[in-house]
Amino acid sequence: MKLDKATIDALAEHLENCQLQARDTAKITDDHPAMDWEDAYAIQAALLARKQSRGLRLAGLKAGLTSFAKMKQMGVSSPVFGWMTEDYAVPHGGEVKTSELIHPKVEPEIAFVLKKPLSGPGCHIGTVLAATDFVLPGIEVIDSRYRDFKFDLKSVIADNTSASRFVVGGQPMKVDGQDLRTVGIVMEKNGQPVAFGAGAAVLGHPATAIAMLANHLGARGEEIPAGTLILSGGITEAVSVAAGDSVTLKVQGMGSTGLRFI
């Protein structure tokens, strides 16, 4: 680690203030070019500790930048991991206050819910599928705290991978006998289809993203508890939204979910 604890805490406070006040900031590597991956995840952990100290509970975990479309859109080359607290959860069909966000975008994702804990190293698609209770449609609302959504990997990890809101819903599907690679998705904005894809866009198989998360946490001596909800990452490029927009995600065999921006 290159940063001391006081700097890590100050950066977490700064990023959270930007989130709470819906204002953007320069990416933090501009001022801290020497920071390393451990520093980036330590800032993210300090951000979670701030929320938990105010009584907010963890609502789920996420993998991001897991599809080529997303990596290309953001100009980066490897997946990242983060979390959602309870205040990020939007009810199925619910509303998001756009004034609380900086420049929101929506992403079509497949959400996993576990029935058994998952731990790494050595976690793979097989262990993930055996531990999965069901999958269901999930829309992630991302809202980078960085100006113009421009960042490098360390900055976006520190900013908890742009997490801001999410909705899951529809028809939970058991994974037995299903091929998640060929599950098709359509995301609509105001009734117009704006993104199409299939599960394989996420690392060849969306369960790979969950395995990578378990292996990432395993390297830190942590595991994913049974019952955890995990977003496996945007299947397509993220789509910008504004007040007045309504977004629906249909996933083959899993019905649909949606939310509205007011």
Per DSSP, 89 falls in state: B
Intra-chain end-to-end CA distance of the chain, in Å: 42
Determine the Cα–Cα distance for residues 161 and 46; give it in Å rounded to an integer: 14
Q: Is 141 in the site for ligand OOG (CB under 6 A)?
A: no
Contacts of 96 (CB under 8 A, 6+ apart): 90, 104, 141, 165, 259, 260, 261, 262
**E strands within 129-227?**
132-142, 163-168, 184-189, 192-198
Determine the Cα–Cα distance for residues 71 and 57; give it in Å rounded to an integer: 29
Nearer Cβ to ligand OOG, position 64 or 120? Answer: 64
Q: Is 96 in the site for ligand OOG (CB under 6 A)?
A: no
Is residue 159 within 8 A of residue 131, CB to CB? The reply is no
φ, ψ of residue 261 to 5 degrees: the values are -105, 125
Fill in the per-residue mask, 146 to 185: x = in contact with ligand OOG (CB under 6 A), - = not in contact: ----------x----xx-----------------------
Query: Which span sits near ligand OOG by CB under 6 A: 27-35, 136-144, 189-197, 217-225?
Result: 136-144
Restricting to residues 228-247, which ones interact with ligand OOG according to CB under 6 A?
A: 233-234
Q: From the list ligand OOG, Mg ion, none, which binds 144 (C-beta under 5 to 8 Å, kind-based)?
A: ligand OOG
Binding-site member from 8, 42, 128, 142 for ligand OOG (CB under 6 A):
142
Binding-site member from 39, 140, 159, 245 for Mg ion (CB under 5 A):
140
Q: How far is the CB of 209 from Mg ion (least distance, A)?
A: 10
Determine the Cα–Cα distance for residues 107 and 164; give it in Å rounded to an integer: 12
Q: How far is the CB of 131 from Mg ion (least distance, A)?
A: 21
User: Which spans of this chain sit near Mg ion (rule: CB under 5 A)?
Assistant: 64, 107, 140, 234
User: Which spans of this chain sit near ligand OOG (rule: CB under 6 A)?
Assistant: 64-66, 70, 74, 107, 140, 142, 144, 156, 161-162, 233-234
